[in-house]
Structure 1
Amino acid sequence: MTIPENRGKAAETQSASRRVRPWHWVLGGIGLVVAVLVVAVVLFDWNWLRNPAQSLITAATGRQTVINGRLGGEWSLTPRFVIEDFHMANADWAREKELLSFERAEVVIDLRQLLRGRTVLSDIRLVKPRIALERRADGEGNWTLGMTVAKDVAAPEDRTDMPLIGRLRIEDGRFLYRDEKAGVDIDAEVATVFGANNEGRDRVRLGGSGTMHGEPFRLRLTGGSLLSLRENDEPYPLTIELTVGQTSARISGTLADPIRFEGLALEVALSGPDLGKLQVITGVPLPMTPPYDLKGRLHRDGKIWRIENMAGRVGNSDLGGAIRIDTGRERLYLEADLHSKTLDYRDIGPLIGLKPETERAPNIAAATSSEKAAADSKTKEPAKPVAGGPPPKVLPDAPLAVEQLRQVDARVKFRGDKVEAPNTPLSGVDLDLVLDNSVLHLRPLKLGVAGGLVDADIRIDARSNVVLTQYDVKLNRFRLERFLESAGLKDTGSGRIDGRIRLTGYGDTVQKSLGSANGDIRLHMNGGTLSNLAMELVGLDVAEAARFWAGGDRTIPLRCFAADFNVESGMMTPRLFVLDTSDTTVTAEGNISLTEELLGLKIKAHPKDPSLLSARTPINITGAFSRPSISLDAGALAARTAGAVALGLLLTPLASILAFIEPGLESDSDCVALLKQVQPG
C-alpha cells in the first residue's frame, strides 16, 4: 500500500512541473532578447548604415551620393547624429562637379518631442558645407531632384510647420549660384554668429562675401532667434544689408510670417551709381540713371510687391512716389506713379540715350556745402572737345535696352513740376509710358518749352530685330522771345511758334533712328517782331546796320514765318523756307544731314527797300551740329566785288558803289498761302 501512495505523489509533482515550464521559456526568451539588445547596443557600429544610406539618397534624388567618412550616433532621448565627408553629385550639365558636400554635419534630435508629433532639432552644426546652385538659360535648375524629395523638402505651408531649431552653426561655408538667364554669378562665403538679445535669446547673424557679375559682393543678415521662427504671436525681426560693387541695399523691419515672407513692415534704402545695375539684385529691368539715393516702404500681397512712400534723389533731381511689381503674370509687370518737384534735365538724359555725365556728382542731402559747390562747378563746365579730333555727336547714341523691353510690361506715370535746364527755357514735364509685348508707347509726353508745350506721341516697336520708332511731336505756342532771352538776346524779337514733326526711323539709338528717318518737319509763325539790326545784318546791309548801331536798334513787324522740311533717309531738305518782314524776305536752301549731323544751308535775304552798301551776299551755315560755321558765300560776294571793280575801271571809282546798291524790288510774301501750306494735318 505504501508504494502506490509514493507513485501518486510523484505523478502529481510531474504534472505541476509541466504546468510551470512554459513561463520559464517566456522569461528566458525575454532575457535573451534583452541580452541581444544590450550586446547590439554595445557592439553596434553606425558605419554599417553607410551603404544603405548612400543607396537610399541616390535612389531618392537621382544624384550619386557618397559618404567617405564615418557615421556616428548616440543612444539617448536626445541623440546626436554625425555624418562626415558627404558628397552629392551635380547635374551632368552643371559647371560644378558637386551639388552639395560638407566635411561634417551634426544634428541633435529630441525624440520625446518627435513622439508627440513635433520636430525639434536642438542643435545643428555644419563644417565646411558647400552648395552650388545653377540654372541654365532654358530655366532648368540643378536643384530639380526626384519627385519624392521635392515633396518632402517643400517649404512649410505654415509658420508652425517649421522644425524648431535651437541653434544653427555654419563654419567656413561656401555658397555658389549661377544663373545663365539672369547673368548672375555669386561665389560667397557663409558663416553664422550668435549673440544674445535683450530677452536672453540668441539672434542669428549670417555673413557672406564673394563676387557677383565680377564685382565684390557682400551680404549681412541679422534676424530673430530660430526659435521665434515658429512663434505666431510676435513679428520676426529681420535686417539685410547687401552690397554689390558700389550698389548698396538695406532692408530692415519685421515680418508677420517669415516663412511665407508675408505681413511685411520693412524699410528699404537703395543707393548706387546707376539704377540699371539693380537688375542683378532684383531681377527687375530698370533704366540707366545717374547716381541715386532712395528710400521707401516694402509691402507684399501674394505675388505683388509694392514700394510705397518712396523718396530720395536721382542725380540732382528729387524723386518720390510708388512702385508696384506683379510677378504672377507671364511677363513681369511694373507699374509706377512718380513725381519730382525739381527735375534736372541732365538726369533724364540716359532715358533718351544720352550718356550720363560721369564728372557730375549727385546733389544728395548728405553732401556738404563745399562738396555741393564742387559738384555744381563741375556740372556747369561743358566738356571740351579734343583739339584736332572729330566733332562730338549731338544726337543721343546710347543703345536702347532692347532685351529689357522684351522681358517686362509696364505702365509708368511721371510728373515733374519744374525743370532746371541752364540756357534752355524748359518748365514742367508730364509723361505716360506704356510697355506692352515689346512695344514702348510714350503717350502723351508733354514738356513745357519757352512758354509753350511739346506734346509728343512716340512709339518704339522692339518686337523684331530692327527697332522701329515713330515720332509725332506737336509744337504749340512757343514764345520766340523766351528762346532769344535764353541765348542772351533780350528784347530782340517776339512771336508765337507752332509746328509738327512726324518721322519714322529704324535703329536702337536715337541717332540711328533719326539718321534713317523719313517724314516731314513743319514750323510757322503768324505775326511777331524781330530786331531790325539783325535783319539788316542777315542781308549784309552795311549802311542800314551802321545807322541802327548809331541811332539805336528797333524792332520791325514780322509778317510771317513758314518752314517745311522734307526728311528722307535722314536728310532734311527745305521744300519751303520763308521769313517775311516789312523790310526783308529771308529764304533758305540746301540740306541738313541727320545721319552725319552736318549742316549745309544757304540763307538769302531779299530787301524790300532801296539801300546803299548792301552786299546781298548769301550766308552759308555749315559744319557739324556741335561745331557750326557761319560764313559769307564766297562765290556770290566775289561776283559782286568783280562787278564793282569792272564799273570802277570803266567809269569812275565812285561808280563802283553802284554794284552794292540794293534796288529793293522784293514784294511782300503771301503769308496766308504760306501758312496754309505748312499747317500740320
Structure 2
Amino acid sequence: MAIAPTLDRSRDYARRAWTPRWLADRPRPLRIAVRTVAIALLALFAVWLILFVTKGRFLKGPFEGIASSALEREVSVGGDFQLYFAPIDVKFLAEDVRISNPDWAEADQFFTARLIDTRIRIFPLIFGQRKMKWLTLDQGAVALERDEDGTRNTWTFGDPDTPGEPLEIPQIERGTVSGSRLVYRDPPLQLFADIGFETVQAKDTRFDSDIRFTGEGTMRERPFTLAGNLLSPNETIAGGSNRLALRAEGSGTVLDVSGTLPAATQLEGSDLRFGVRGYDIANLFDFLGVAVPSTRAYRFTSALTYDGSEWKFTGLKGVFGESDLAGSLRVGSPNGRLKLIADLATQSLDIVDVGPFIGYDPRRLDDMGKAGAIRQVNGRPRVLPDATLRIDALRRFDAELRYKVAKVRAESFPLSNIDLTLGLDDSLLTMEPLTANVAGGTITADIALNAREPVVRTAYDIRLSPTNMGRLLASFGTEQSGTTGSVSARVQLAGTGDSLRQSLAHSSGRIAFIIPAGTFWTRNIQLAELDLGTFAQKMFEDELKEPVQVNCGLIAFTVRDGVAAADPILIDTKKNVMLGRGGFSFRSEAIDMAVRADAKTFSLFSGQSPVGVKGYFAAPAIDPISGDLVGRAGAGIGIAAVASPVAGLLAFVDPGDAKAAACGPVLAGASAKAQRTEDGEARDDVGRGTTAKSEDGEQSDEDKDGQRKKFLGIF
C-alpha cells in the first residue's frame, strides 16, 4: 500500500526536474498550455529542419497532386523540385514545370518553364498576398487567353466554365528572366500580343540587372510594336527603386511611359510620367476596348500612378487639333466593370475640332478644314455625319465626364462657356445638361442615347433662351445697334439609328423659333421685308437703314420620320405679314421652302413674289426671282402691249390686304391650326405648303395625292 505514494512522488519530482522554476509554481492549466506551445514549436522546428535538410524534394508528388486538384488543371514538374523555408520565407524551385490550359483555349499549356526559382515572403502570404522577394525565370512561357465571348479566361483556375476574374499579377520585388515570353489573345477586343523578355547586365552600378522586353501584335487587325526595359536596383544600395521605360507604337499612336516602381511588378505607389500622341485618340482607347469620340491630331502628357483600384492620370495637359485640353482622368473597374471618370477643360476650342466629336472624319478635317465635313453622295452634297456608333464598345464600360470650354473660335457663331456633364451607365449615354452661352443667350440641351435595346434610340431636347438677334446674326448683316428683337427656340426630336445622321433621318418631333416684339435692322433691307415696292421706295428716299418693326414671329416645323414641314412660318411686322411654306429633309438634306411678304398697306411697286430657299444643308441657295414674279412680269408686259405702259404696272400693285397675326398663338409656338388673325379668325394662309422631298427624290404622300400644290411661286 505504501508503494503508490512513492511512485507519485517520483513522477512529481521528475516533472519538477524538467519544468523551469518560474513555471513550476504556476497553475496547472498554464503549465499545460506552455508545454503545448513548446511541443508545437518543437514540431515546427523539426518540420523546418527536415525541409531545410532535404530541400523538400520529397514533396514533389504531393505538390503535383494537390496543385492539379486545386487548379483543376494538370500540373507537372519534370525535373528538380525544392520547397522549404530559407530561413523564414518560402523557397520554391522547379524544373520543367507545366500547367495545362482548359480545353477551349488555343494554347495547350498555360505556363511552362525550364526553371523557376523564387523566394516568397511568408507573412504577406499568410494574409492572402502574393509577394516574391525575387524571381528567376528561364525559358518561361505564359499564354493568357480569353474565349470568344469574353466570359472565360485561362488565368481563372478551377471549374473551366467559371466566369473569368480580373488578372492579378504577384508583386515581384526583383527579377531575372531569360528566353521568356508572354502571349495574350483577346478575341472580343481583337487583340493579340507576343512579348519577349531578356535580362542583361546593367551598366549603371546602382542597378543589378536590366530586364528588356520587345513585342508585337495586332489590335483590330492593326499592327503595333512595343519595347522597353526595367532596371532592378542593387541590393547593396538602400532605397533603390525599379526604373521603367516603355514605348508602344501602332495605328499612328506613340505611347511613352517612364518612371519608378516600388517593385518590379508593383504598380501601386508608382511614380510615372505618361505621354501619348497620334492622329486620333479613339485609336488609343481601342486598346481598352472602349469607344470615345475621335479627335484630330493630338498630344498629351500627365503624371500616372495606380492606387490599387484605379489608374490616375493627373496634371493632364496637351492639344488636339488647334485646341487645348487639361484636367484629369481615372480608369478603374468598380463592380468588375471598366469605368472612366474625367474632369477636363479647354480654354480655346476651334470649331473645326468639334467635328470629330459628332462623327466627322478627323483626317478629312485635317486635310480640308471645314470643307472636310462635306461629302458628295450620289451627286448631292451631304453634311450630316454618318459615322456609326460602336455599340459593342459602349456596352463594355461606364463613364462620367465633366467638360468645360471657355471659348469657341467660330467665324459666325459666338459660342462660349460650354459646360457638359456626360454619363454612360450600362449602355445609356446621357448629356444632361449641356449648356453654352451664345450671343448673350443660353443653350441648354438634354440628350439621351439608349443603346440597351437592339435599335439605338436618341432623344434630343435643345432650348435657346431669349437671345438678341443683333448679336446672334451680326455676321449675316444684322446691325446690332438698331436691333432690339430677340429669338428663343426649342428642338424636341426622338429618332432611331446608330449615327447622328440616321437618328435625325428617322426622327419625329417639333422645331420652333419664337420672335417677340422688337426691331430688326439689316444692311440688306429687301431680304428683311421681302417687298420690292417698299425696297424701291426706301432706296429712292435714301432710307435703307430704317429698322423693321417686328410684332411677333414664329418659324416652326413639325418633323415626321425625318421630314420637316413648316408649321407655321409666320412673322408679323409693322408693314407686312411674312409667310412661309415648305420644309426640309434630314434624309436627303434637301431644302425646299419659300417665304413671301404680304403688305398691310397699299404698295405700287410690289413684286409680291416668294423668295425660294432651295438646295441642300451643305449648299443652300436663295432664289428671289421665282416663277410667280416672272409670271407677273409677263402679265405686265401683256397688259402694257394691249393698253398702255402705265396699265402694265397694275401687275405689281399690292392692295395691302394682309391680315395681321394674333401674337398669342405665335408666342406660344402653336401649330398652324391654332394660328389666328388679330380679329380672332382662323388663318387660311399658313400650314398648307408641301414638305421637302425624301431621300429618293419622291415627295410626301400629301404631295402625291394632289391635295397640296407646289408652293414656290404659288400662294
How does the TM-score come out when normalised to structure 2?
0.72
SS of 1:562's equivalent in the other structure is: strand
Please name the residue that 1:456 is paired with.
Answer: 445
| Cα distance change of structure 1 residues 233 and 344 upon mapping to structure 2, 3 Å threshold | same
Q: Which residue of 2 aligns with 1:428?
A: 417
1:132 to 143, 148, 155: 143
Is residue 182–residue 195 contact of structure 2 (8 Å, CA) maintained in 1?
yes
Map 1:86-485; keep pairs closer than 5 Å: 90-100=101-111, 105=114, 124=136, 126-127=138-139, 129-136=140-147, 137-145=149-157, 168-171=176-179, 173-199=180-206, 201-225=208-232, 233-360=239-366, 379=369, 390-485=379-474
The answer to whether the 8 Å contact 2:439/2:471 transfers is yes
Q: Is 1:278–1:286's contact at 8 Å kept on the other side of the alignment?
A: no
The letter of the residue matching 2:314 is E
Partner of 1:548: 539
Q: What amino acid maps onto 1:349 in structure 2?
A: G
Closer, same or farther in 2 for the Cα pair 1:505/1:671, shift >3 Å? Answer: same
**AA paired with 2:452?**
R
Judged with a 3 Å threshold, the aligned counterparts in structure 2 of structure 1 residues 138 and 220 are, in CA distance, closer, same or farther, namely: closer
For 1:3, the equivalent position in structure 2 comes to none
CA shift, 1:253, in A, is: 1.8
**Residue 319 of structure 1, CA deviation:** 0.8
C-alpha distance in 2 between matches for 1:303 and 1:284: 19
Q: 1:459 to 1:280 in 2, by over 3 A?
A: closer
Q: 1:652-667 maps to which residues of 2 (within 5 A)? A: 652-667=644-659
C-alpha contact 1:536 1:545 (8 A) present in aligned 2: no
Match of 2:521 in 1: 530
Q: Percent identity?
A: 28
For structure 2, the residue ranges without an aligned partner over 5 or more in a row are 1-58, 120-130, 160-166, 672-715
CA displacement at 1:406 relative to structure 2: 2.0
Give the match for residue 19 of structure 1: none
Matches of 1:108 and 1:448 in 2, distance apart?
65
Answer whether contact 2:256 2:275 (CA < 8 A) is retained.
yes
Go from structure 1 to structure 2 and tell me whether the alpha carbon gap of 1:107 and 1:632 turns closer, same or farther (over 3 Å shift).
closer
What is the Cα deviation at residue 672 of structure 1? 4.4
Give the direction of change, closer, same or farther, for the CA distance of 1:249–1:65 in structure 2 (3 Å limit).
Answer: same
CA distance in 2, matches of 1:589, 1:394: 23
For residues 545-593 of structure 1, the C-alpha deviation after alignment (integer angstroms, 9 at most, x for no partner) is 3752783521323322222322222222222222222232210012222
CA distance in 1, matches of 2:460, 2:521: 31
Opposite residue 489 of structure 2, the aligned amino acid is G
Amino acid at match of 2:154: N
In structure 1, how many angstroms separate the alpha carbons of the residues matched to 2:106 and 2:118?
Answer: 35
Q: 1:483, CA displacement in angstroms?
A: 3.8
SS in 2 for 1:565: strand
In structure 2, how many angstroms separate the alpha carbons of the residues matched to 1:353 and 1:382? 12
Whole-angstrom CA distance in 2 between matches of 1:623 and 1:312 = 40
> Cα 1:380–1:488, aligned 2, differ >3 Å: closer, same or farther?
farther
- Is it true that 1:510 corresponds to 2:517 in the alignment? no
Q: Deviations over 1:397-428 (max 9, x none)?
A: 22223233322222211111111122322222
Q: How many residues align?
A: 588
- SS of aligned partner of 1:617: coil
Which whole-Å CA distance do the structure 2 matches of 1:178 and 1:607 have between them?
A: 75
Change in CA separation of 1:498 and 1:390 when aligned onto 2, cut-off 3 Å: same
Which piece of structure 1 moves more, 281-290 or 521-530? 281-290
Q: 1:215 to 1:260 in 2, by over 3 A?
A: same
- Matched AA of 1:272: G
Letter of the 1:402 partner, please give it.
I
Higher alpha-carbon deviation: 89-98 or 620-629:
89-98
The one-letter amino acid paired with 1:408 is F
1:53 Cα offset (Å): 11
Q: Does 1:587 align with 2:590?
A: no
Q: What displacement does 1:542 show?
A: 5.6
Matched-pair contact (CA < 8 Å) for 2:355–2:373: no
By how many angstroms is 1:444 displaced?
A: 1.3
Q: TM-score, normalised by structure 1?
A: 0.75
Deviation at 1:224, TM superposition (A): 2.9
Q: AA paired with 2:185?
A: R
Q: What is the alpha-carbon distance in structure 1 between the residues aligned to residue 325 and residue 527 of structure 2?
A: 48
Identify if the C-alpha distance between structure 1 residues 628 and 538 changes in structure 2 by more than 3 Å, giving closer, same or farther: farther
Unaligned runs of 5+ in 1: 1-48, 111-118, 148-153, 362-377
What CA distance in whole angstroms lies between the structure 1 residues aligned with 2:194 and 2:116?
Answer: 26
1:213–1:401 CA distance, 2 compared to 1 (3 A): closer
Instruction: State the SS of the aligned residue for 1:544.
Output: helix
The 1:382/1:291 distance shift into structure 2, 3 A limit, reads closer
Supply the AA of the counterpart residue of 1:528.
Answer: T
3-state SS of the aligned residue for 1:597? coil
Kindly indicate whether the alpha-carbon contact (under 8 Å) linking 2:73 and 2:99 is maintained by their aligned counterparts in 1. Answer: yes
Is this contact kept in 1: 2:432–2:447, CA < 8 A? Answer: yes
For residues 492 and 508 of structure 1, do their structure 2 counterparts lie closer, same or farther at Cα, with a shift above 3 Å needed?
A: farther
- d(CA) in 2 for partners of 1:537, 1:249: 56
Cα distance, 1:513 vs structure 2: 1.5
SS at structure 2 position matched to 1:279:
helix
Q: Select the residue among 462, 487, 509 that pairs with 1:497.
A: 487
Query: d(CA) in 2 for partners of 1:465 and 1:183?
Result: 22
Larger Rg: 1
> Equivalences for 1:631-642 in 2 at 5 Å?
631=623, 634-642=626-634
Kindly indicate whether the alpha-carbon contact (under 8 Å) linking 2:64 and 2:75 is maintained by their aligned counterparts in 1. Answer: yes
Q: Does 1:567 align with 2:567?
A: no
Secondary structure of 2:473's aligned partner = helix
Residue aligned with 2:364, SS: coil
**Alpha-carbon offset, residue 325 of structure 1:** 2.6
Q: Which residue of 1 aligns with 2:509?
A: 519
Measure, in 1, the Cα distance between the counterparts of 2:554 and 2:185: 60
Structure 1 CA distance, aligned partners of 2:360 and 2:597? Answer: 37
> Which letter does structure 2 place at the counterpart of 1:519?
G
**d(CA) in 1 for partners of 2:81, 2:669:** 95
Give, in whole Å, the separation in 1 of the partners of 2:80 and 2:501: 68
CA contact (8 A) 1:503 1:520 kept: yes
Provide the aligned C-alpha RMSD in A: 4.1
Higher alpha-carbon deviation: 443-452 or 489-498: 489-498
Deviations 1:200-224 (CA, angstroms, capped at 9, x unpaired): 6333332333444333322223223
Secondary structure at 1:360's aligned position in 2?
helix
- Shift in alpha-carbon separation, 1:262–1:123, aligned structure 2, 3 A: closer
Counterpart CA distance in 2 for 1:558 and 1:312 is 49
With 539-548 and 451-460 compared, the bigger mean Cα shift is at 539-548
Q: What is the CA deviation profile of residues 303-325 of structure 1, one whole-angstrom value per residue up to 9, with x for unaligned ones?
A: 12221111111222111111223
How far is 1:475 from its partner? 0.7
Describe the superposition over 1:599-651 as per-residue Cα deviations: whole angstroms up to 9, x where unpaired: 12121211233333322122222222112233357542354234324423442
Q: 1:672 to 1:50 in 2, by over 3 A?
A: closer
Equivalent residue of 1:358, what SS?
helix
- Distance in 2 (alpha carbons) for counterparts of 1:238 and 1:584: 76
Cα pair distance change 1:301/1:490, threshold 3 Å: same
Q: Which residue of 1 aligns with 2:26?
A: none
3-state secondary structure, aligned to 2:587: coil
1:194·1:205 contact (CA, 8 Å) conserved in 2? Answer: no
* Distance of aligned partners of 1:332 and 1:254 in 2 relative to their CA distance in 1, 3 Å threshold: same
